[in-house]
């Protein structure tokens, strides 16, 4: 069974994925090959669609996986079947799971203002305000230098030259107090 896993990893590496991704993608194929050898006592070429579905049910029962993770496993099985076993894949035999999508929580303007005001340090308030109003990530803010920020006495706005795609033309009104002061 190690030969199948080796072939799978080789085919995945041809896609130009990183070593970490290859290891991640191999997780459920390794579990599948172990299931075949220890429980079914079959080779991957001899597995039927019903047995593939049984493996998915077994995996859900044993590991209590989410629907997204089950879909990840099915994608790995599809790749394994097509590129290692050279057999056609029939999506009607092992359909992807449906799952609920959740929208991320977006705090109200008052909640953001309260959060920013909870900081006593003016520098921290300014950094959090800048991140919130511009959409900058933590790494982008950490990479800023003093020369990257040009200040204008005419407008309470900031232009960041270190990040050319992110030009701040102004801030929401409740952030202007921080920048003016």
- Architecture of domain 2-83 in CATH? Orthogonal Bundle (1.10)
CB distance 136 to 130 below 8 Å: yes
Side-chain-facing half-sphere of 159: CA atoms under 13 Å: 8
65-113: pLDDT as tens digits = 888 899 999 999 999 999 999 999 999 999 998 877 778 888 898 999 9
**Contact call for residues 9 and 79 (beta carbons, < 8 A):** no
Over residues 31-49, the pLDDT tens digits come to 999 999 999 999 999 999 9
**In contact, 55 and 32? CB cutoff 8 Å:** yes
Q: What is the pLDDT of residue 104?
A: 85
> Taking the complete model, does pTM exceed 0.75, yes or no?
no
Confidence of residue 180 (pLDDT cuts 50, 70, 90): very low
Domain boundaries, the chain: 2-83, 109-180
């Amino acid at each position: 069974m190690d030969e199948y896993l080796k072939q799978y990893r080789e085919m995945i590496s041809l896609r130009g994925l990183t070593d970490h991704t290859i290891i991640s993608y191999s997780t459920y194929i390794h579990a599948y090959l172990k299931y075949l050898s220890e429980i079914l006592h079959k080779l991957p070429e001899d597995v039927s669609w019903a047995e593939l579905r049984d493996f998915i049910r077994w995996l859900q029962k044993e590991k209590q996986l989410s629907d997204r993770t089950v879909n990840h496993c099915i994608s790995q099985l599809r790749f394994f079947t097509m590129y290692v076993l050279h057999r056609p894949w029939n999506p009607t035999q092992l359909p992807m799971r449906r799952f609920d999508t959740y929208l991320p929580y977006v705090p109200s303007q008052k909640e953001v203002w309260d959060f920013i005001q909870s900081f006593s340090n003016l520098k921290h308030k300014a950094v959090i305000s800048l991140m919130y109003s511009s959409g900058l990530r933590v790494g982008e803010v950490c990479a800023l230098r003093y020369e990257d920020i040009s200040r204008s006495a005419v407008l309470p706005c900031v232009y960041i030259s270190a990040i050319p795609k992110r030009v701040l033309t102004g801030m929401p009104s409740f952030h202007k107090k921080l920048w003016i002061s």
